Amino acid sequence: MEEPADSGGGAAAEGPAAQVTEIRCPAGARPLRLLEWKVKPGALVNVDSVIAVCAPIPAEGERRAAEKKLKSDRAGVVRELCGQLGQVIPPGSVIAKVEECSHPVVMKGLCAECGQDLTQLQSKNGKQQVPVSTATVSMVHSVPELMVSSEQAEQLGREDQQRLHRNRKLVLMVDLDQTLIHTTEQHCQHMSNKGIFHFQLGRGEPMLHTRLRPHCKDFLEKIAKLYELHVFTFGSRLYAHTIAGTWLHRIESSSTFLI
């Protein structure tokens, strides 16, 4: 039989991502004899990961009950196993201490730190059993499903700043439309197709026609030696990345294009 262990109040360790939770034997149950540990200190556990296998202590005259698997109801790292093999553990006793994962980096519902599927952390009534994640900041425009915590975002920002200092560069923001390129839905049949990129953003969408502005290539190659270029647009994300992937990657320069 598998049975989730109870979580008691945890003592806070360093930082918001280091909350330690006590995993306890279910209260009100029979005392349990610890038969086997299924994890070691330092191991990653998810919700429903088996921590230990125990045998209920039968009352006098009762038949031997089936073994129980005690599970974690938290995702994180095992910091301490509280018991010895063969020991009888009273109901409500602490069996392990888990440093909870704050899920600071999440990609499509999966925590990049512990691997927990955060979409599973729901109770039957649809409410979250625990605070799911500290990842609330989208850092990469091309991957909106990637979220990081504010602490992670600040750290990445500091690393960007240090990289710019090392490279002795500033950031130059460059608008895409009417600055680097021209895009239109209108196409003249008598117009030369040289240097024009024709594309659709999806089935049924209008055909778009894009061309680099005069001297754009020379401008980018020269300015990239002095600045790290960040390109932005009021157009859709799909439009921006189609242009960047089709046009801007062809320009031989040290530019970094972040749309």
First-to-last C-alpha distance (Å) of the chain: 52
* Phi (first) and psi of residue 122, to 5 degrees: -130, 140
Is 48 known to be catalytic?
no
Cα-only R_g, the chain? 28
For 187, the 3-state DSSP assignment is coil
Asked if 98 and 72 touch (Cβ cutoff 8 Å), the reply is yes
Is 177 known to be catalytic?
yes
Locate 88 and state its tokens: 């009888």
Residues in the chain: 259
Q: How far is CA 39 from CA 36, 55, 162, 176, in A?
A: 9, 17, 40, 53
Closest by CA position to 174, among listed 208, 220, 226:
220
- Choose, from 117, 160, 175, 218, the residue flagged as catalytic: 175
Burial zone of 248 (CB within 10 Å; 0-12 exposed, 13-18 middle, 19+ buried): buried
The catalytic site residues sit at 175, 177
